Structure 1
Amino acid sequence: MPSPTPQMHLRVAVLPGDGLGPELASCAERVLSLIQNVRGTVTFDLSRYDFGGAAIASSGVPLPSSTLEACRDADAVLVCGCGDARFGIEPEMGLLALRKQLHGAANIRPVSFPSSELAQRSAYRAELVENLDITFFRDLTSGVYYGERREATEEDGYALDTIPYNRETIQHLARLAGAYAMRSNPPKPVHSVDKYNVMATSRLWRAVVTEVFAKEFPRVPLRHVLVDTASMLLSSDPISLNGIILTENMFGDILSDQAGGITNSTDILASAAISTLTTTDMRCRGVFEPMNLKATGTLVNPIGIIHAVLHMLELSFSLHEEADALSKAIRRTLDPIELVGSDCRPVDLGGKASAAEFMDTLLHNLDYYLEAVNSAEAAGEHVVASPADSGIFLPESDLGRRPMGIIEKILTHAGIGLKTPEVRPGDMICVRVDWTITSELLWAGMEKTYDQMGRPRPYRNDRLWLAVDHTVDPRTNDRPRQQGLMAKAEKFRREAKIIDFLPANTSIMHTDFTRERAQPGRIVVGSDSHTCSSGSMGSLAVGFGAADVVMPMVTGETWFRAPEVCRINFIGALAFGVGGKDVILHILGLFKRNTIAFQRAVEYGGPGLAELSMDARFAIANMTTEFGGMGACFEADGATASWIAGRQHPQHREGGLYFRADPGAQYAEERTIDLSEVKVTVAMHPNPDDVVPIPEKAGMKLDGVFIGACTTTEEDLILAALVLEAGLREGLRPVSNGKRRVTPGSLIIIKNLERMGLTDIYRQAGFEIGAPGCSYCVGINDVDVAGEGEVWLSSQNRNFRNRMGKGSFGNITCAAAVAASSFGMEVVDPAWLLERIDRDKYERFIKAPKGPSSATFEVAEPRPDVSPQAPSSALQTVGMEGKVPMSTVPRVVRSKVQRFAENVDTDAVIPAEFMPGVDNADLGSHCFQYFRPEFREKAKNGSTIM
C-alpha cells in the first residue's frame, strides 16, 4: 500500500560502462523501480550515459563531457562496469577523473557476509568470521597516489614517491568517520590505522584524528592501530576490527582488498566515493559501484551492484528504511530454509540459481520487506530505529506510582491511554501487541474470524509468525487434510506478504520464534496455549483463543484485563543432568495444576536464575500453561542478552526492554524453589501434576518412547544423545520391540546435532529421526500416533487422555530419562548413565551454537502513555462484515446439569484431530467425543449447564 503522493524526486545517472555493466545496470534499475512502485514516497529518474570502454569505443574518451555534466546534475551516480582490457588503463583513468570531478574525498567500503551461510565458504573458519562487520573509510584525495613522484632512469636507477597529507584532509575524513559511527547506537568503534612509529604523515594523522574525536565525538570508541598490526589481525582475528577502519589512501586500498578476500567473492561487495554524509535536509552526491567492475562473460552474480544500490539509498538519499529492506531481502534470498530463507544462491556462491533466478527471488523478497516499511509507517512506527531511540527509559521520580513487578511494568509500558502511570491487577486496559504467532492448524480457525472482518490488511506483516507444524510430516504432506491446511496458510502468506512464514516441517511454532525473535519487555500473543514459551526471553507471552488473536494481528492492539501475578523465585543450583523439564515437573508436583497459578501470569526470577540456561528457562516457561498460568515471563538478564546477541539476523538482536521488579512489588502468590532439591521425575497419565520420583516407576513396561515436542530443547536433545552414547559404551543395545522416535524442534537444531555427530548416536540406539513438527505430542499427522492401549514415555509437555492417540497412555519426563529407558523399553532412572557422560564434551556442545559469552544491557523503566480520556484505539475502527446481534440469552438459565470433575482440558473438549472443523456446527459435533461421548446427545436433550 504505497503512499499516495511522492515526496522525493531523485535523479540517478546510470553508467553501464563495459563488460557486464549493461546487464548489471538492468538489475539495479529493476530494484529501484520496485522501490518506487511499492513505496510511493520516492521517484527515481534513471538515465543511462556512456562511460568507460563503451565510451572510448563510441567517442574516443572514457568520460565524455556530456556524461560528466549529467553526473554533476544527478543526485547520485551508479557505475556498473569499467575495465575493458582492449583499452588498457584508460577506462580506470576515466573512473578516477569522475571521482575527482565529483569531489569524492572518501571511499566507503563495507565488508561483511550478506548471509551467515556464505561464511561457510570462506577460507577462514566460519565461527571466526561469520559476524564480520567492517566499514572502511579511506582517503581518496591525497597520499602516495597523488604525491610528487620521480621515475627511475637507466642512468641513476633511482625512483621517488611522496606521501603528502595536510591537517584539513585528515580532519575532513575523520569527521566523516565519526559522524558515520554516531549513526549507530551505541556508536561503532573506530580503528584508526597508521604507521606512527616510522612515518611523519602517520604521526600527523594520529594527532589530528585524536584531536577530532576527543573534541567532536567523545562517545565514539577510538583505537589507534599500526598498519602491520591491522594486517595481522585481518589474517588472525578479523572481527576484532569490527566497526570502522579509518585510514589513508594506500593503507586503505591494501587492507580493504585483504578484508574483501575473507568473503571469498569480490562479486558480493560494493563501495562508494562521497564528499560528505547526507542529512535530513541535504543530499550528498556520490559515486557507487560494485567492487568488481571488470566482470565479463556471462552474468553469474549481481549482488555487488545490488549492494551499490543499497549504499546509494543510505549514503546519498538517507532512505534508511528502503536500504534496510534491501539488505534484509538480500539476506532472506541467500539464507537457507532453516533460517526462514529462500536458499537461492548463485553458482559461484555454492548454489544453483542463475542470475535471473536470483534477481526474481530477490525482488519477491524485497516486495515483502517494502510492505513491512509501509505497514510500519501506517502504524506510526519505524522498521529501523533511530540512534536516538535507545529503548532505555529512566525512572520518572515524580510519577508517584506504587512498586511494580516485571509483568506489570510490561503492561504499563504497552498500555494505550492509561488513566494512571501504573497498572493494577483487574484493570481493563488496551495494550500494544508486538508479535502475533500461529500455526497452520490454528490459522484455519482464525481465518473464520478474519473472513468475517473482510480480510483487512494485518497491522505489521513483519510482526506475524506463521509456522506449518501441527499436522504435517513428509510422509503424509500429500494427503488431502494436510494439503488443505497448507494451502490456507500459503494463501494468507501471499495475501498478507508475511515475512516470517515457516513452510512445513521447518520449526515448531514456538521453538525458533522464541530462539530468534522474542524480545524482553515485549508482548507476544499466540493462538496456542504454549505461546508462554516466549516468556523465557523476558517477553510477556500469552496464549489466546484463535479468534481473539485475529484482532491484535489486524490492529496491533488488544484489550487485556491485567492479571494477578504469581512470582516464583529460584535459589540454589541444579545438579548435573537435571534441566528445565525437571524443574517445571518439580513445581507441578509441589503446587499442582490450577492452584497458585490458576488464571494468573507467572513471573520467574530470583538469585538461582543465573543457574538456569536459556533452554532450561524455555522448558519451564513452555509448561506454565500446564501449571495453570495464562502467561509467563522470566526476568531477562545477562544470559538473555548474550543469547539475543548471538542471533542469526542482526535486526532481531535489538529492541528488548530489560525491566526489573521494584523492591516491595506485590504478588498474589510468591513461592521459592530450591533448585538443588530438583530430581528427575515422571508425570503419570493423565495428569501433568501426578509427579513421582522416577525410581518409583522403574521397570514399568513401555510400548514406545518419544523425545521431542516444543518443550524438548536443543540442550535436552544433546544430553539425551550423550546418555545414549554412554549406554552404548556400557554395552547396552536397543531391544527389538517398541517404537523409538526423536523429533527435534527445528531444522536449525537438527543441523546443530548433525554437526556434533549426535544424530548418528540416535540412529545407533534405534531411534528414527523425524522432521520438525508436533509429532506424537498431539498425534494428528496421521503417522506419529500412539496406538490404543499403548504405554509411552515421552519428553513432551502434555499427558492428557487421548493426547498421543485415542486410548493411549502417555507419561512425561525429561529427555535423558526417555533415552535411558529406550534400551530395554522399560522405565529406568538415568542417574547411572548421567554419571558416565563426558561433561567437558557436553559443556562444549551446549555452548557451541551460541553467540557472545557476555553481552551488555541496561535496565529499563516503563514510559506510560497516560491520558485522562478514554484511549483512542485502532480496535474501535475495525468492524465486522455485518452486524453481530446482541445476546438474547436470558439472565436466568434453567437446565439439567452435566457435572464434570476439575481440570477438564482442551484435548477433552475438542480432540485435536477434529480441528479446526468446517464451521462451528462441525466442530461442535465432536465435542467431548472421546472424553464423554454421551455429552452431545444430553446437550440436545436439555442438559446445557456444565
Structure 2
Amino acid sequence: MGDNKPADSIALSPGKRVLFLTKDLDLIKRQLYDGLDLRMEDLSVEDLLDDINTDVMTPAWVCFDHDPAEIAKNAYAGLMHNGLRVFRENALKNGNFEVIVSGQRKGTGSSRETAAQCERWAGINIVIAASFAPIHERNNINLGQLMADHDVLERLQNGESISLSEFTNQYDPVTQLIVEHGGLFPFAKALKSGELNLAPLDTPQRPMTMAERIISRNLVGQPDGQCVKPGDPVIAEVQGGYSHEFTTAQVHTFLQEEYGEGYQLPNPGKFAVFEDHLLYAQHNPKFVPFMHKVQTLRDLQVAFQEHTGVRDYSAVDGVSPGICHQVAREEFIEVGDFIQATDSHTCMGGASNALTWGVGATEYANLVSAGFTFVKVPESIRFELVGELHQGCTAKDVILAILADHARKELTLNRSMEFGGPGLTSLSVDERATLCNMATECSGRTGICEADEALLTWMLHAQPHLSESEQRARMVAPDQGAHYGGGGHTIDLSSIVPMVAHPGDPDQGIPSDPTNGANISDIGQVLVDIAYGGSCTAGKEDDIAYYAEVCQAAKDAGLTVKEGVDFYIQYGSGQVKALAERNGWHDLFIEVGVKLIDPGCGACIGAGPGVSLTPEQVTVSAINRNFQGRSGPGKLYLASPLTVAASAFTGHISVWKPDLFA
C-alpha cells in the first residue's frame, strides 16, 4: 500500500495548500477553482462543516472502484450544492492540498475505508477536525494519516515545525506505534518480526462494563482474569467476522499486495463473505453505467472465497440469503462473542449480548491474516431503560430520541452504548437489534444489550444446535460499580413519542443527518411519494410484523396504498421472508398494493427499488441514514416501521394508531 511513514518533525510543505471545508459551499469552490487560500486564524470552528459523512466523501458509486488511486479521483463526489457537485473529478488532487479541515464529528456513517483513502491518495497527509467518528478515525490511523485539531493547524500555518509526538501523544502506546510506522500493515509486520514488543497490561482488578468484560476474556498474551480499562491498548482474539461484495475486493487485493498471491488465512472457518449489498444495483439509473465495476467486485469476492475457503453466503439464482447483519444474528453470532466485520452496522449483533463492531478493509485484512485484532478499549455509556412504549412507538423512536439528544451532544461519541434495565425486557430481541444497529449513527463504537431469558429463547430457536448451558455461561453483565465515561442515563420508554429525523438543508450547510430529530406532531403535514420498509434496521421479523399490522388494518378498512405513493417492503433474510409467507403476510402485502423485494440491502445504500429519482420526491423510510444522496436525490425522513406503513396509506407522514383508518 506504499510507504506512508511520517517524518519525526511535521511542517507544511512549500507550495502545498490547506483546504477548509466551510459551511459556505461557495467558499470551498473558490479554494478549489479560484486559488483562494484561507488561514485558520481568520475562521472559527463554527464556520466549518460538521458531520461530514462517508457517503459525502465517497458515495456508493465511487466505491465500485477498489483501487484507491481511482477512488481518489472522485473524492467528495457526494458534496452537492444546488444539485451540482462541489468537487469535480480530480478537484481534490489537482488542488495541490496536503491538509484538509472540517468541524465536528468528521467521518460519520458507514465504515467504508474508501472515505479515508480518497483523501490520502489525493495527496492529503494531515486531517484536521474538532472530533472524529470512531471508525473513520481508526481507518485514518490504519492508513498512517496524521490527525490533529485546529490549534495545531494554526501553528503549522504560522511556519512552525511540530514534533510527530504531538500528533501521536493523544493515543495509546499501540496506536502511537501504528501511526509512527505509517499504518497498520507495517506495524503488524514489525510486531511479527520481533522488531517490536508490546508492554504487558498493568491494569489492576476493577469492575468492568459489558464491553470491557468481553475484551478482557479475549486478550492475547495476558494472564487469565486480566482486567482492562478504557484506553488500554490490547491484542484480542475474535470469534468471527465477515465482509461483503462492497469491501471484499479491497481485502483480497491488500492481502495480495502485502503477503503475495499465495497468502493463506490461519482460520478461514471463522469468517464469511456475503453477497447482499449490490444485488439490485441496476435498479438505480445512476448505477447502471457502473455495472461492469460492480461485476468486478463480485468476481473478486468469489476469487477471495475460493482462495481462502471462508464461509460463502453468495446469492443463488440472483437471491441473497439475506443482509449480512441479519443472517449473522440468525446463524452464527453467539452470546458473548467478539465479532468484527467490514460494515458499520455490524454493531447490530450487540442485541445477542455480543461485542460487535465495524472496521475498514485494512483492519479486516490484517485481522483475517493475523488471527487477532488490535483494540483500544472504548469508554462506555449506560442507558437504563424503564417503563414501556406506548402503542404506535417502537425501538426506532427510542434510538431517534437518543440521536437527537445524547448523540448530538457527543455523549455517545466513540463509546460502547450499553442498554439494560427493566424496560429492556419489554422489548423483543429484534427491537433490541434496532437499538444496537443504530449505535453507529450515534457515532458510538458499538451497542450491546444485557442478556435475559428472552434472548436465550431467541438464540436457541434461531440456532437449535447451540447448547443452552453453554450460552447461559457466556452471558455477560456489567459488574457492580462499573465506570461509565459517558455517564448513566435513564430512558423512560413511556415518555417516547413517534419521531422522524428530517433531511435538513444541505445547501444551507445543515446536513442531512440522523440526529435531526423531530416529533411527528411538530412537523406539520409532510406529503410522501415513497414509503420504504427494509434494511438491516427494519427488515427483521418483528419489523415485518409491524408492517403487517398496519396493512391488515388498511385491508379491513377497504384501503390500498395511497395513489401516488410507492410502498416497498424488503425482507432482511430468507428466514424473514419464509415467516411472512407462513403467516400470510406476504400475500396480504401484495393484496394492499405493497411492492415486495427479496432480501438485500437495496435502497438503504441506493442500490435497489425504493430510491428516489428526483430532488422533489419525499421518502419516509425505516432505514438508518438520511444522508444527502444516499438513497436517491430526494428528501428522506427516517421513521419507524409503523410510521412508514401508516404513511403509505394516508399519503403523508402519520403516527400509527389502531383507529387511524376508522
What corresponds to 1:490 in structure 2? 302
1:761 to 588, 593, 598: 588
In 2: Cα distance, 1:696 partner to 1:762 partner:
30
Cα deviation per residue 1:694-747 (whole Å; 9 max; x = unaligned)? 233352111211110100121011111111110221233323313221111111
SS at structure 2 position matched to 1:491 = helix
2:480 equivalent to 1:668: no
Structure exhibiting the larger radius of gyration computed from Cα positions: 1
1:505 and 2:320 are equivalent in the alignment: yes
Contact 1:508 1:745 in 2 (8 A): yes
1:681 to 496, 499, 515: 499
For the structure 1 residues 467 and 718, does the alpha-carbon distance in structure 2 shift closer, same or farther, using more than 3 Å as the test? same
Match of 2:417 in 1: 602
> Given the superposition, is the C-alpha separation of residues 813 and 630 from structure 1 closer, same or farther in structure 2, using an over 3 Å criterion?
same
Aligned pair partner of 1:751 in 571, 575, 578: 578
Q: 2 CA distance for matches of 1:569 and 1:418?
A: 32
User: Displacement of 1:775 after TM fit?
Assistant: 1.0
Q: Deviations over 1:421-464 (max 9, x none)?
A: 21011110000011111111111222221222325222322211
Answer whether contact 2:246 2:297 (CA < 8 A) is retained. yes
The alignment yields a C-alpha RMSD, in angstroms, of 2.3
Q: Secondary structure at the match of 1:785?
A: coil
Letter in 2 for 1:777: C
Match of 1:403 in 2: 207
- For residues 727 and 698 of structure 1, the distance between their equivalents in structure 2, rounded to whole angstroms, comes to 23
The 1:719–1:835 alpha-carbon spacing in structure 2 relative to 1, beyond 3 Å, is farther
Give, in angstroms, the shift of residue 648 of structure 1: 4.2
Aligned residue-pair number: 436
Letter in 2 for 1:487: D
The aligned residue for residue 615 of structure 1 is 430
Q: Identify the residue that residue 812 of structure 1 maps to in structure 2.
A: 638
User: Which one of 531, 535, 540 corresponds to residue 709 of structure 1?
Assistant: 535
2:395 aligned residue (564, 580, 596)? 580
Give me the whole-angstrom Cα distance separating, in 1, the residues matched to 2:469 and 2:500: 39
- 2:602 alignment partner in structure 1: 775
Corresponding residue for 1:922?
A: none
Deviation at 1:784, TM superposition (A): 4.5
The correspondence for 1:461, drawn from 244, 255, 268, is 268
Render the CA deviation track for 1:109-150: whole Å, top value 9, x for unaligned. Answer: xxxxxxxxxxxxxxxxxxxxxxxxxxxxxxxxxxxxxxxxxx
Q: 1:501 to 1:731 in 2, by over 3 A?
A: closer
TM-superposed deviation, 1:651: 5.0
d(CA) in 2 for partners of 1:697 and 1:822? Answer: 17
Q: Is the 8 A contact 2:499 2:520 kept in 1?
A: yes
**Aligned partners of 1:437, 1:634: CA distance in 2, in Å?**
21
Give the conservation status (yes or no) of the 8 Å contact 2:532–2:568. yes
- Which residues of 2 match residues 305-704 of structure 1 at below 5 A? 401-418=205-222, 421-452=226-257, 453-454=259-260, 456-473=263-280, 479-503=291-315, 504-593=319-408, 595-648=410-463, 650-651=465-466, 656=471, 657-669=474-486, 670-685=488-503, 686-704=512-530
Rounded Cα–Cα distance in structure 2 between residues aligned with 1:755 and 1:430: 46
Q: SS of the counterpart of 1:671? A: strand
Query: For the Cα contact (< 8 Å) 1:709–1:743, is it kept in 2?
Result: yes
* Identical counterparts, % of pairs: 28
Secondary structure of the equivalent of 1:483? helix
Against the structure 1 CA distance between its residues 834 and 675, is the aligned structure 2 distance closer, same or farther, given a 3 Å change threshold?
A: farther
Structure 2 contact 460–466 (Cα < 8 Å) conserved: no
**Which of these residues, 605, 622, 627, is aligned with residue 800 of structure 1?**
627
Q: Distance in 2 between matches of 1:570 and 1:466?
A: 35
Distance in 2 between residues matched to 1:649 and 1:456, nearest whole Å: 35
Instruction: Return the offset for 1:824.
Output: 3.5
User: Quick one: structure 1 residues 728 and 521, their matched pair in 2 at CA, closer, same or farther if it must change by over 3 Å?
Assistant: same
| Counterpart AA for 1:775 | G
CA distance in 2, matches of 1:833, 1:623: 30
Q: Name the aligned partner's letter for residue 663 of structure 1.
A: Q
For residues 194-237 of structure 1, the C-alpha deviation after alignment (integer angstroms, 9 at most, x for no partner) is xxxxxxxxxxxxxxxxxxxxxxxxxxxxxxxxxxxxxxxxxxxx
Q: Secondary structure at the match of 2:273?
A: strand
1:655 to partner: Cα distance: 5.3
Cα deviations by residue, 1:524-561 (Å, 9 ceiling, x for unpaired): 10111111000110111111112111122222201111
After superposition, the Cα gap between the structure-2 partners of 1:613 and 1:801, relative to the gap in structure 1 and judged at 3 Å, is same
Instruction: Check whether the contact 1:741–1:767 (CA below 8 A) recurs between aligned residues.
Output: yes
Instruction: Give the C-alpha shift of residue 758 in structure 1.
Output: 0.6
Local SS of the residue matching 1:553: helix
| 1:473/1:771 contact within 8 Å kept | no
**1:456 and 1:538 mapped to 2: Cα distance?**
34
Q: Is the 8 A contact 2:557 2:661 kept in 1?
A: no
TM-score normalised by structure 2 residue count: 0.63
Asked if the contact 1:706/1:741 (under 8 Å) is kept, the reply is yes
User: What amino acid is aligned across from residue 561 of structure 2 in structure 1?
Assistant: P
**In the alignment, residue 649 of structure 2 is paired with which amino acid?**
F
Give the Å deviation of 1:474: 9.1
Instruction: Give 1:803 shift.
Output: 0.9
Structure 2: gaps (5+ residues): 1-202, 504-511
CA drift at 1:611: 1.1
Closer/same/farther in 2, CA of residues 653 and 486 from structure 1, 3 Å limit: farther
Task: Name the residue aligned to 2:547.
Answer: 720
- Matched to 2:265, the amino acid is P
Question: Residue deviations 1:640-698, cap 9 Å, x none?
Answer: 21111112451587754112211111110221111111221111111211111223335
What SS class does the counterpart of residue 542 from structure 1 fall into? Answer: strand
Distance 1:594 1:525 in 2: 27
Question: Structure 2: which amino acid aligns with 1:581?
Answer: K
Q: Is the 8 A contact 2:553 2:661 kept in 1?
A: no
CA–CA separation in structure 2 for the residues paired with 1:743 and 1:594: 33
TM-score, structure 1 length as denominator?
A: 0.44
Rounded to whole Å, the distance in 1 between the matches of 2:409 and 2:273 is 29
**Secondary structure of the structure 1 residue equivalent to 2:205:** coil
**For the residues of structure 2 that align with 1:787 and 1:513, how far apart are their CA atoms?**
32
Q: State the match for 1:851 in structure 2.
A: none
Residue 422 to residue 835, structure 1, CA distance change in 2 (3 Å):
farther
With over 3 angstroms needed to count, the CA separation of the structure-2 counterparts of 1:835 and 1:411, relative to structure 1, is farther
Letter in 2 for 1:597: T
1:489–1:651 distance in 2 versus 1, CA, 3 Å: farther
- The 1:502–1:636 alpha-carbon spacing in structure 2 relative to 1, beyond 3 Å, is farther
The Cα shift of 1:748 comes to 1.0
Q: Does 1:823 align with 2:652?
A: no
Give, as a single letter, the amino acid of the residue that structure 2 aligns with 1:676: S
Is contact 2:341–2:359 with CA below 8 Å preserved after alignment?
A: yes
Post-superposition offset of 1:411: 0.8
Tell me if the contact between 1:777 and 1:804 (Cα under 8 Å) persists in the aligned partners: yes
Structure 1 partner of 2:173: none
Inter-partner Cα distance in structure 1 for 2:241 and 2:469: 18
| SS, match of residue 624 in structure 1 | coil
In 2, Cα distance between equivalents of 1:632 and 1:459 = 29
Unaligned runs of 5+ residues in structure 1 are: 1-398, 837-946
What is the DSSP-based 3-state SS (H/G/I as helix, E as strand, rest coil) of the residue aligned with 1:414?
coil
Mapped partners of 2:623, 2:208: distance in 1: 34
Structure 1 pair 513–428 and aligned structure 2 pair: CA distance change class (3 A): same
* Contact 1:698/1:826 (8 A) holds in 2: no
Tell me the equivalent position of 1:47: none
Q: Is the 8 A contact 2:252 2:304 kept in 1?
A: no
Q: Secondary structure at the match of 1:627?
A: coil
